Chains A and B, each alone.
Chain A
Amino acid sequence: MAGSDNSIEVEGLVREFKKGPRAVDGIDLRVDPGEIYGFLGPNGAGKSTTVLMLTTLLPPTAGTARVAGFDVVKEGPSVRRTIGAALQEAALDPMLTGREHLRLQAALQGIARDERKAREQELLDRVGLSEAADRKVKGYSGGMKRRLDLALALVHRPRVLFLDEPTTGLDPQSRSALWEEVGRLARDEGVTVFLTTQYLEEADVLADRVGIIHRGRIVAEGTPAALKADVGRSTVEAIPAEEDERSRVAEILLRFGDPTQASPKGVAVQLANSNGSLAEVVRALDEAKLPIANIQLHAPTLDDVFLAKTGTSLEGAAEKEEHESEPE
């Protein structure tokens, strides 16, 4: 029923640009109410184009999408009333103060005059900008701009929040503060969050489920844990302290799994059983009195998932897309 929940439902969504490839090439996805959905992919993969379509700012070429039960093509105004969005690059007026931005946004969103001041202050407090509220935005740092951007997206208490690469270019501290706030919104207020990112760590830490997009198509979807488990087992790599012990180290490691690619001086195996095997490997090497310079357990990451699904690493794909495709 229209507007009855906070979900996002997308079927066969396509967007073609003139003289360009299909930026979005038939994607299907569903985001449940209160869920944080991470849309992961390199630059040019189609993330921002998808967000523009879901936020009604770009009509799809084909397919359907419903946000909070409203059709993004036929019920644009209803969708906009329900959603908040912080799009790529904080779009702020450098000549206005943070408070003036909130005042403008509240007025345009139709918030009642007597509610505006309290809402402005509440949001400024929440994003930690109370002290800087009356300074012009041109003096804000990147992190402050992003936090103001988030506050502006929340002015009218949206049920679904779209964040397009919200932490790109932020320092680790600002990034983690933003993650905390986004997590709180979903957890405490039941806001559905659709978040695009090119950061593996962000998707891993923040998202309940992740969709990996590559060249306009979703190539994998699931919880970060399930996606990682799907691509394979952990590997252990050991580098002997003395190079001539390499074959003996290999002999011991092979008891625990299958050989796999390692650094030139090391030996690596993909573990047959990831539970507790590193400890067993260390014990076995110790019992054999083999001095080890370095030993590492490498658990699968979302980059491994990306590599497995697309044949290229996320970083490599980003560079390739920048050369090949149209800007998003």
Chain B
Amino acid sequence: MTLLLNQIGRIAWRSVIRTARQPAAVIPPLTFPLMLMAVNSNGLRAATHLPGFPTKSFLDFFLPFSFIQGALFAATTAGTDLARDVDTGFLNRLALTPMRGAALLLGELGGAVALGALQAFVYLGVGLAFGVHFVTGIGGMATLLLLAILIALGWAAVGVLLALRAGTGEKVQSQFPLLFFLVFISSMNLPRNLIEVSWFRDLATINPVSYLIEGLRTLIIEGWNAQALALGFGVAILMILGALGGASIALNSRMERT
């Protein structure tokens, strides 16, 4: 157990170091969601006048989207870096050590989650500095951070799965726009009950990303909504388990050592 933890720690350490040394992998995931938050919270402020809109501050409403978007960026980095390891043969180097497959998966995820957690603290801090109000108080903030980290873990697991299946950074990067599309057809800009176009509302309803956003959002603007939180945490956990399961299978075929 100690050996496994040591291996996970080493792989996570490498993942963090590698990411930290690529400004292009750190700065856009931190700044782009904040920029989008700034633009949308001003540009779409009028949406708060819609009858039934749940808050008077679009910033309060939109902040959760930053966590989703930032985690997706972090996952893109994690996936691309791991795919590069497959492509360059670094994975073979690791496979020749007594390292267990679980250590690689959890270590890579650890690195992505560290970045995701850093981002979450930054988004939360910026949101609070610009007047975001949590109806659930400190406890809600802590719960939001926990859910945000789980979401970062889930996206990172998806990134690792794509990397192990694709095997090249280019293929991984070409698949991430599809995930961004999934994010944009969610309830990110409007509550689902206020989306008038029926096909868009239906898509947002079957889109699990909507439930991740709504789980985060309820803590800021609504309160301790058990159903929204259960769906948010449930979707995040299912995403983690599903992607990790797929990634384990993909890793077994990539690390075909005897």
Contacts and interface: CB of A to CB of B under 8 A. Distances in A.
Q: Are A and B physically bound partners?
A: yes
B98 A110 contact: yes
A203 to B, nearest CB: 23
Contacts of A83: 96
Contacts of A81: 98
B81 to A, nearest CB: 9
Contacts of B93: 87, 91, 105, 152
B3 interface: yes
Interface in A71-89: 72-74, 76-77, 79-81, 83, 85, 87-89
B256 A89 contact: no
Interface residues of A, number: 32
A299 interface: no
A95 B18 contact: yes
A80 B98 contact: yes
B96 A80 contact: yes
Contacts of B90: 91-93
A109 B97 contact: yes
Given A59-B258, A76-B258, A108 B18 contact: no
| Among A72, A105, A107, residue most surrounded by chain B Cβ atoms (within 10 Å) | A107
Interface in B154-202: none
B3 A96 contact: no
A91 B92 contact: yes
A56 B3 CA distance: 22
A108 B258 contact: no
A89 to B, nearest CB: 6
Contacts of A96: 14, 17-18
B227 interface: no
Given A57-B96, A108-B99, A72 B17 contact: no
Contacts of A29: none
Contacts of B7: 107-108
Per DSSP, are chain A's interface residues mostly helix, strand or loop, or mixed? loop
Per DSSP, are chain B's interface residues mostly helix, strand or loop, or mixed? helix
B112 to A, nearest CB: 15
Nearest to A86: B93
A105 B89 contact: no
Contact of A100 (B6, B17, B22, B94): B17
A177 interface: no
Given A72-B258, A76-B258, A108 B92 contact: no
Interface in B105-130: none
Interface of A: 55-59, 72-74, 76-77, 79-81, 83, 85, 87-89, 91-93, 95-96, 100, 104-105, 107-110, 136, 152
27 contacts: A57-B96, A59-B256, A72-B258, A76-B257, A77-B98, A80-B97, A80-B257, A83-B96, A87-B92, A89-B88, A89-B89, A91-B89, A92-B90, A93-B14, A93-B18, A95-B21, A100-B14, A104-B13, A105-B93, A105-B97, A108-B7, A108-B97, A108-B99, A109-B97, A109-B98, A110-B3, A110-B98
Interface of B: 3, 6-7, 10, 13-14, 17-18, 21-22, 85, 88-90, 92-99, 256-258
